Structure 1
Amino acid sequence: MNVSNCRGCGKLHMQAVDTMCADCLKSHIADARAVRAFIQANPGANVMDLVKQTGFSLKKVNELINR
């Protein structure tokens, strides 16, 4: 295992598989679930609808969708 900076918060952590610390990974998973739930509930929505309704930035939404 390597020591690296978390790509979410920047703190040092032991990198096993992901490049995020455990706290940021939990937050990322919760955000991804919120985006998925919105998409399932609103199949005709576009990205800007998603941004407005969830409160996530456009950059964050694109990251969650593309990951």
Structure 2
Amino acid sequence: MSLSNCQGCGVLHIQQKNVLCNDCLKQYIEETHIIKDFLYNHPHANVMDLVNETGFSLKKVKELVNW
């Protein structure tokens, strides 16, 4: 274990396995579930459909989908 800054919000935390603090990790998981649910219900959706329907920025969608 070591101290590091969260890559999401910058807060100092004890890094165990994740580079995100617990709050940012929880938010990241919730956002990925939103993307996953949308894609499950709309399998032919494109990136711009995700941006328009979820309200996430293009950068955020690419980050969550790992493009």
Instruction: Tell whether the structures are fold-level matches, with TM greater than 0.5.
Output: yes
Gap regions ≥5 residues in structure 1: none
Cα RMSD for the two superposed structures: 1.1
Letter in 2 for 1:65: V
Tell me which residue corresponds to 2:40.
40
Gap regions ≥5 residues in structure 2: none
Tell me which residue corresponds to 2:59.
59
Quote how far apart the aligned CAs of 1:25 are.
0.2
TM-score (norm 2): 0.96
State percent identity of aligned pairs.
Answer: 54
CA distance in 1, matches of 2:17, 2:57: 26
Runs of 4+ in structure 1 displaced over 2 angstroms? none
1:11-26 to 2 correspondence within 5 Å? 11-26=11-26
| Count of aligned pairs between the two proteins | 67
TM-score (norm 1): 0.96
